[in-house]
A and B are shown apart, each in its own frame.
Chain A
Amino acid sequence: MPELLRMPEVAAGATSALLSSWSVPVDAEYASGSVIAVIETDKAVVDMEAEAPGRILRTLVAEGTEVAVGDPIAVTAAPGEQVDDLDAAVAALGAASTAAPAAPASEPDVSPSPAAPAGSGTPAPPTAAAGSGRIFISPIARKRANEAGIDVTAIVGTGPNGRIRRRDVEAAIAAGGTRPAASPSAPAATATPSATEPGFVDIPHTRLRRAIATRLTESVTTAPHFYVKGSARVDRLMELRAEINAGEDVKVSVNDLLVKAMARAHSLVPAMNVIWTEDHVRQFSGVDIAIAVATDTGLVTPVLRGVEALSVTQIARASRDLAERARSGQLRQHELEGGTTSISNLGMYGTEEFTAIINPPHSSILAVGAARPEPVVVGDSIVPATVLRVILSVDHRPVDGAIAAQWMREFTVLLESPGRILA
């Protein structure tokens, strides 16, 4: 009996995915656990494995096609099963009976399958007053948004009646601005400058770019952020790092030490090691920390697991591996999931300090600036010191300010007494 193979929900909450390639040819038999297709999700390339032995009778979507989760992508049969009238079988299953490969998503005349109405995979853009088209926004918020070129339709207000307030716009500005997702039915834009409208180029969204936009917009509009600033003298940390690196072939970065320190601080302030869910605050025993990695296509955040139990050398090794695979697009989906916090380090660019947007479902993210020489008052005198400035963005839903402040105190004390990081 032929069956429909449907697009799986690869990542939680994903509404669609790209069928990147078919891994087995039509009619070739495969074993259970064989990779039959490669699916590209927001941030990872996922192998789709067969749940049972079988063969593909017909593919229903072409490679490179965006498919809504749950939509059929192929018709399969058991190994050796005879199917006399494939068209009739496909029709009986309620899938498109055409044998022709489905058109790629970039073509506007893609024929929707009956089970996948057009646009069903496209989430509605978030608005303050869903459905009405009326956006409640205070006058100053609208003014600020206009000045900053922020699209207010992507902002969820926190004021009465969902009114967008100044703080909401400022959060959006801090997040780098939100722009409405391009309409899914719009023709793909071209990078070629228009002959009639020179002066700009439209760079089509990559999947990753769109994913970043969606997830971070979701973050600033659903997770009320607050920010805790801290600074620490890191001269001793630098010395410690030099000592460690003197005897190891794996070089430990400042960031690795910071990741370890974060894990220590999370262990000391377990109330920070949480995430918000609809019904409860989930508190974790182990500390999983995501590391923000800049790639050519955009930001990805692979997760280091069980950091509290790792040595800094292990952290260094694992971090390097994750970063390298992130840049080459080789991360597995599960490596992008989980964690309660992230670290984002722009110190290598000389950034003094910055704020970061929390990666859902995390409850915090640490933004790390450059360690810079600064005058520091010690007792009655001013001495030169290397000072590192950090800003922790915190989701106020599960975590209150006092907890975050406590965490920041532990964290900065650790940096100034770095031996304790290793303890």
Chain B
Amino acid sequence: MFCDGFGMSEVSPLQQSAPWVRLETTDADWDAADPGLLATMFAELVLIRSFEEFVLQLAGEGLIHGPAHSSIGQEGGAVGSALPLVTQDTVNGTHRGHHQFLAKVLTHLAPGGIDPTQPVSPEIREALLRTLAEICGLDRGWSHGRGGSMHLRWDEAGAIGTNAIVGGGVPLAAGSAWAHRHAGTDNVAVTYFGDGASNIGSTLETFNLAAAWRLPLCFFIENNRYAVSTNVSEVTAEDRLSARGPGFGIPSWQVDGMDPLAVYLAMQQALEYMRAGKGATLIEADVYRYFHQNGPFPGSAFRYRTKEEEAQWRARDPIDRVAGHLVRRGILSEDAITEAIDRSRALMAEIGEVLLEPVPDGKPGERRIRPSEWPDPGFVDTGIRGDLSEFDGVRTVDRDTFTGAVQEMKFIDAVAAVMGRRMELDSSVVVLGEDIHRLSGGTNGATKGLKDAHPDRILGTPISENAFTGLAGGMAMDGRFRPVVEFMYADFMWVAADQLFNQIGKARHMFGGDHPVPVVLRSKVAMGTGYGSQHSMDPAGVFSTSAGWRIVAPSTPFDYVGLMNAALTCQDPVLVLEHVDLYASSGEGPVDDYDYCLPVGKAAVRRQGADVTVLTYLAMTSYVLEAAEQVADHIDAEVIDLRWLDRASIDWDTIEASIRKTNNVLIAEQGALGTGYGGWLADEIQRRYFDWLDQPVQRVTGGMASPSISKVLERAAFARAEEAVAGLEAMGVGTDA
């Protein structure tokens, strides 16, 4: 009871709705534990410890390129939490994730347990070999060496990928959890992260989102007390990190991570809660990494902690603890314990021989990677995107081959209609975004009628773009659902930038090229609405810098239907650009056929011309056509609506044919120069078609700065027909009559 000095008010304590508890084992727990469970726990701890020791040994020999984030000392949290999981449960983690990955993989490969007195199975040996190869950057690794230590992924085992961005994997795990729940399973997702990631937005946003949507997601905090060298008490007022859970309505457990059985028991309780469909959980396991952030030296060598502190934690080593109980209960002898450790170390040495060889003419004991183990450098850019084989057999038409009836229709109606049609035929399509479930189809009517028809698949989100974008990314990588994210304004991509560009845009390539990321992002361009500097950008230019993304920009209702269907067919992330000017516009669209795809990578020549090729897209297309008619008496402009904007999908055939004809190129876009789209395109054009150009590639763009609120300043800041006319006139092409 608090009382203030004036004594007038009545103050009474409030209780958080979600419980926050500390779980500690008793001797009774240890006595009751299944001998097989304890033996398996021991076997996994020892295998992981030996693996990590071997990694540090290779790091010391200079054989690990990049960081080797050792988990030695922290194995108890991972093993204790992974043991009660089934294969279909999913886990991800952060940069220090070897132990989490291996614990999940070992449990997957040995669901019945591992006998520490026996050699490991060939499958486990193979998994250890591939994991080591990945950490060494070798072709044999899970991702052909692209991911390395920080990006370990083996979907089959339920290990959906560790992450080098602190907190970056947390929203992705929420997507996996969403898929578990909405696929009707009782599986769960576990996302491992540390004290450092407990303060970052992605994590905190996801706490809220997962709790709000009751996702079966366990936030597993390995509180090892140090973010590199910064102590947890320096960066948060509440260093009992499990205290955060109840603030978001998440039941939370604090356990001693050096006690694997305590972790196991806490996880059992959390699983019971999650598998019952009650929602997210949080477990904070206090652990300690014996070494520095990376490499084979202790943290005390870097003077941010003491040797005494390290000695205290080492005295509570999880392997010793489990081994002690195994001996105490007579499950394993001391010799068996020692033999198991020796056998595990010998296994790693043997595995190392597969990957390593003595340096020819080198010093005694000097080793190197066997040359045959390296990936082929030619593999460098393979698998940034998919091969589009998903379009095999898909009905693809363009306007000139479309045989269905067409009608004049409102653009926004085509947006809602094609999404409705897809959701009706494909129960995996899920749309999520802010306010899309209310206001009769969101702020612009793009989801009109869809919430009533598909209440479980039109998801109004909290205002946390990073979390719900990442959640969609996780859903896409899971594969059972096909998420469509709506950004109310394109500028919000900066808010979600980590998920869009570090995660979604890179995931396929980073994990080896074979894992699709079929997420669709609908993003509205709103320049001209008076929403000012932070709501008026055209995101095409920024997205075109991210190699994994495809970008479509429909300028007619007919194209919107075909491009949205193509986006929803594609196995890559696709940005579908929308524009407020187009929403309100009318144009040709289908009457009743909402099932066709436009061909991938095909532009549309909207106007034939001889003097100059104008490359444009989205709402600017109609402005450019307007401009072309205004100057038609002396400039014969060819107007190409690019439709597919990304580097991989752009229609070079159409562009080239036009440039060979006109020898002059004008790239016309509405938005600010700095984030503009045309820069890369101009660069590519001058290199591809230098000998066909009669002048530099010219551009029409908005101003330097993002548009302002003031109506006249806003108009001055972006381009429309007037600017296109000026751009055409300035080129000095055409006849001078």
Q: Which residues of A contact B (CB under 8 A)?
A: 138-143, 159-160, 163, 165-166, 224, 226, 396, 400-402, 405
Contacts and interface: CB of A to CB of B under 8 A. Distances in A.
A138 B736 contact: no
A224 B695 contact: no
Interface stretch (B435-443, B492-500, B685-693): B685-693
Contact of B692 (A139, A159, A163, A165): A139
Contacts of B732: 159
Contacts of B722: none
Contacts of B737: 226, 400-402, 405
A143 B732 CA distance: 20
B139 to A, nearest CB: 43
A224 B736 contact: yes
B694 A140 contact: yes
Contacts of A139: 690-694
A6 B299 CA distance: 101
A374 B690 CA distance: 44
8 contacts: A138-B695, A140-B663, A140-B692, A140-B693, A159-B732, A160-B695, A226-B735, A396-B736
Most buried by B among A138, A141, A159, A402: A138
Nearest to A164: B694
A142 B695 CA distance: 12
Nearest to B693: A139
Interface string B662-679: 010000000000000000
Nearest to B663: A140
Contacts of B735: 226, 401
B693 A226 contact: no
Interface residues of B, number: 11
Interface in B627-686: 663
Given A143-B692, A401-B735, 9 more contacts: A138-B694, A138-B695, A139-B691, A139-B693, A140-B663, A140-B691, A142-B691, A160-B695, A165-B694
A324 B224 CA distance: 109
Contacts of A159: 695, 732
A163 B693 CA distance: 13
A401 B692 CA distance: 29
A140 B697 CA distance: 13
Contacts of A160: 695
Most buried by A among B690, B691, B693, B694: B694
B241 to A, nearest CB: 62
Interface in B198-234: none
A46 B691 CA distance: 49
B547 to A, nearest CB: 29
A166 B663 contact: yes
Contacts of A143: 691-692
Contact of B694 (A141, A224, A226, A396): A141
A338 to B, nearest CB: 27
B693 to A, nearest CB: 5
A166 to B, nearest CB: 4
A159 B690 CA distance: 17
Nearest to B686: A139
Nearest to A225: B736
Nearest first, the 8 A-B pairs at minimum CB distance are A401-B737, A166-B694, A140-B663, A138-B694, A140-B694, A139-B691, A139-B690, A143-B691
B599 to A, nearest CB: 30
A161 to B, nearest CB: 11
Contacts of B736: 224, 226, 396, 401
Contacts of A401: 735-737
A405 B633 CA distance: 14
B730 to A, nearest CB: 10
A183 to B, nearest CB: 30
Contacts of B693: 138-140
Interface in B689-737: 690-695, 732, 735-737
A405 B735 CA distance: 14
B234 to A, nearest CB: 60
B235 to A, nearest CB: 58
Contacts of A226: 735-737
Contacts of A163: 695
A400 B634 CA distance: 13
A171 to B, nearest CB: 13
Contacts of A224: 736
Contacts of B695: 138, 159-160, 163, 165
B657 to A, nearest CB: 15
Contacts of A166: 663, 694
A142 B732 CA distance: 18
A70 to B, nearest CB: 40
A193 to B, nearest CB: 36
Nearest to B732: A159
Contacts of B691: 139-140, 142-143
A66 B691 CA distance: 43
A396 B663 CA distance: 23
A141 B736 CA distance: 19
Nearest to A168: B694
Most buried by B among A140, A165, A401: A140
Contacts of B692: 139-140, 143
A141 B692 CA distance: 8
A406 to B, nearest CB: 12
A258 to B, nearest CB: 24
Interface string B540-551: 000000000000
B638 to A, nearest CB: 15
Contacts of A405: 737
Nearest to A224: B736
Nearest to B634: A401
A226 B736 CA distance: 8
A392 to B, nearest CB: 13
Contacts of B663: 138, 140, 166
Contacts of A141: 694
B532 to A, nearest CB: 37
Nearest to A228: B737
Nearest to A405: B737
A166 B664 CA distance: 10
A139 B696 CA distance: 10
Contacts of A402: 737
A159 B664 CA distance: 13
Nearest to B737: A401
Contacts of A140: 663, 691-694
B609 to A, nearest CB: 15
Contacts of A142: 691
Nearest to B659: A140
Interface in B382-439: none
B735 to A, nearest CB: 7
B722 to A, nearest CB: 23
A138 B693 CA distance: 7
A166 B659 CA distance: 13
Contacts of B694: 138-141, 165-166
Contacts of A400: 737
A160 B696 CA distance: 11
A270 B19 CA distance: 100
A137 to B, nearest CB: 10
B36 to A, nearest CB: 76
Contacts of A138: 663, 693-695
A142 B691 CA distance: 8
A142 B693 CA distance: 10
B398 to A, nearest CB: 30
B80 to A, nearest CB: 68
A45 to B, nearest CB: 40
A396 B736 CA distance: 8
A405 B663 CA distance: 28
A380 to B, nearest CB: 30
A296 B499 CA distance: 81
Nearest to A167: B694
B652 to A, nearest CB: 18
B168 to A, nearest CB: 45
A77 to B, nearest CB: 59
A396 B732 CA distance: 15
